[in-house]
């Protein structure tokens, strides 16, 4: 079974990847972590040194590597579904699940991480909320293509398992 967790940064993709892969006894991967290992640079460094266009090409290339794998849970980056027909590809490969948390929850989770996130660097709390709202509007057409969607309190291990049927 190939499972792709998508959603905004801070939606819990990495958290639920760990729990779901443990429950299913399959590999759990974080796409951003793989990119950092392969490129030997942090996501922030890649954005800063090579720009988003280059980063998105690398991201798409490494995402396609999962076409060779039989079973896994993959936490994608927040922007992954929005570039290089990645959403279409993921839907062809397996099950895509959109973890849709409210903006307020995303802001609360992301505030302590602003410095480590290239797209959030130097934003105030108010700017962060506006940024998240705008990104969500921009990305929703891609996220809405997910085969499954869990929102807010629906996001739990039981519902993730149920949505694999």
pLDDT of residue 101: 97
Each residue of 38-92: pLDDT tens digit?
999 998 899 889 988 999 999 999 999 999 999 999 999 999 999 999 999 999 9
Q: Per the domain annotation, does 105 fall within a domain? A: yes
Q: Per the domain annotation, does 98 fall within a domain? A: yes
Length of the chain measured in residues: 165
DSSP, residue by residue, 117-155: -TTTTT--HHHHHHHHHHHHHHHHHHHTTSSEEEEGGG-
Predicted structure pTM score: 0.95
Q: Record the tokens describing residue 144, joined without a space.
A: 């809405």
Domain span holding position 54: 2-160
Q: Per the domain annotation, does 165 fall within a domain? A: no
Q: Per the domain annotation, does 68 fall within a domain? A: yes
> Could you give the number of structural domains in the chain?
1
CATH number at residue 93: 3.40.50.300
**Cα–Cα dist 81/4, whole Å:** 10
């Amino acid at each position: 079974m190939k499972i792709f967790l998508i959603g905004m940064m801070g939606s819990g993709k990495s958290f639920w990847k760990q729990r779901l892969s443990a429950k299913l006894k399959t590999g759990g991967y974080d796409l951003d972590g793989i990119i950092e290992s392969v490129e030997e640079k942090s996501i922030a460094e890649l954005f800063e040194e090579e720009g988003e266009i280059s980063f998105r090409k690398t991201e798409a290339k490494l995402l396609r590597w999962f076409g060779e794998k039989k079973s896994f849970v993959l936490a994608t980056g927040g922007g992954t579904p929005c570039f290089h027909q990645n959403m279409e590809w993921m839907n062809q490969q397996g099950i895509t699940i959109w973890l849709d948390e409210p903006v307020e929850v995303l802001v609360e989770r992301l505030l302590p991480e602003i410095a480590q996130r290239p797209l959030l660097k130097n934003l105030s709390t108010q700017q962060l909320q506006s940024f998240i709202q705008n990104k969500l509007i921009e990305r929703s057409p891609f996220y809405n293509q997910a085969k499954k969607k869990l929102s807010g309190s629906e996001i739990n291990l039981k519902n993730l398992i149920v949505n694999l049927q």
